[in-house]
Amino acid sequence: MIFETKVAILVREDLAMWQKLNVTAFLASGIAGEAPEAMGESYEDAAGRRHAALLGQPVMVLEAGREVLQRALGQAVQRNLVRAAYVEAMFATGHDAANREAFRAEPAEMPNLVGIALFGPKKDVDKAAKGARMHP
C-alpha cells in the first residue's frame, strides 16, 4: 500500500538503548494524540476482545546527530508538520507537568533535542528528515 503521509521518528544516535526506546515510545504517542487521522482502527482478537488502535501506517525510526535533529525541527516548523519533540532535560523529570516545564525552559530555536517525531505529507517529512539514517 502506498501512503501519502509519513510518520518518522528521529532519535539522537548517542543515547543509551533504553533512552532511545523511551523517547521513541513517547514521541509515537505524541503523534497519535496530535494527529488522530494517523490512527488506524481498533483491533479485535479471535475471542472478540477489543485492543487499542495503532498508528495506521508504518513508522520509520531513524537515528541522527544533534545537527540533523535541529535541522529537522526547523524544517518541520517551516513546513507546518505535526511534530512531537523530546529534550534531554526531560530524562530528569518524573511526570508530565515537569516534562512540559523542562521543554518550555529550552531555547525555542535551539532546544537540546534527543528526539523528534514528524507526521505529514510524505515528501515534506522526507525533506525534514534528510540526513537521518535507518536505526540499526
DSSP output for the chain: ---SEEEEEEEETTS-HHHHHHHHHHHHHHHHHH-GGGB-PPEE-TT--EE---BSS-EEEEEE-HHHHHHHHHHHHHTT-EEEEEEGGGGG--SHHHHHHHHHTS-TTS--EEEEEEEEEHHHHHHHTTT-EE--
* CA dist list (Å): 102 to 11, 40, 51, 115: 18, 32, 33, 14
Burial level of 17, CB count in 10 A (0-12/13-18/19+)?
A: exposed
Cα–Cα nearest to 39, from 52, 21, 22, 50: 52
pLDDT tens column, 8-31: 999 999 999 999 999 999 999 999
pLDDT reported for residue 136: 78
pLDDT reported for residue 135: 79
pLDDT reported for residue 9: 98
pLDDT reported for residue 51: 98
CA distance 31 to 17: 21
Domain that holds residue 25: 5-134
Residue numbers of the chain with a pLDDT score lower than 70: none
pLDDT tens column, 48-62: 999 999 999 999 999
Question: Cell 535541522 belongs to which residue?
Answer: 71
Q: What is the CATH number of the domain that holds 17?
A: 3.40.1490.10
pTM of this prediction?
Answer: 0.94
Number of domains in the chain: 1
pLDDT reported for residue 108: 92
